[in-house]
Amino acid sequence: INEMRFRQFFFYNALGGITWGVTYGLVGYFAGSAAADVITRFGIYALVALVILAIGAFLFLRSRERRATAPRPEKPE
């Protein structure tokens, strides 16, 4: 970007920001709508399943992050 003209950089930066915002907004809207439909159709069981799924995903990502940042034992030479 050091060699890019400011107007060109600004255009692509704005385009990327708008695309990102619209994409995540639509994904959130449709995912929320789908979750609401599932909860309406299956009742409390769907809500419990979604909570368990969210907790499982959180725990998985947390353990993965801990493994990635944990110090590795040195190998004896």
Which of 67 and 74 is assigned the larger pLDDT? Answer: 67
The pLDDT, as a whole number, for residue 10 is 93
Q: What is the pLDDT of residues 20-66, one digit of tens each?
A: 999 999 999 998 888 788 778 888 888 888 899 999 999 999 999 98
Say if pTM beats, i.e. exceeds, 0.75: no
The pLDDT, as a whole number, for residue 36 is 82
Asked if pLDDT for residue 1 goes beyond 60, the answer is no
Which of 72 and 42 is assigned the larger pLDDT? Answer: 42
E-only strand ranges, 1-77: none
List C-alpha distances in Å: 61 to 41, 42, 51: 29, 28, 15
- Locate 36 and state its tokens: 């609401």
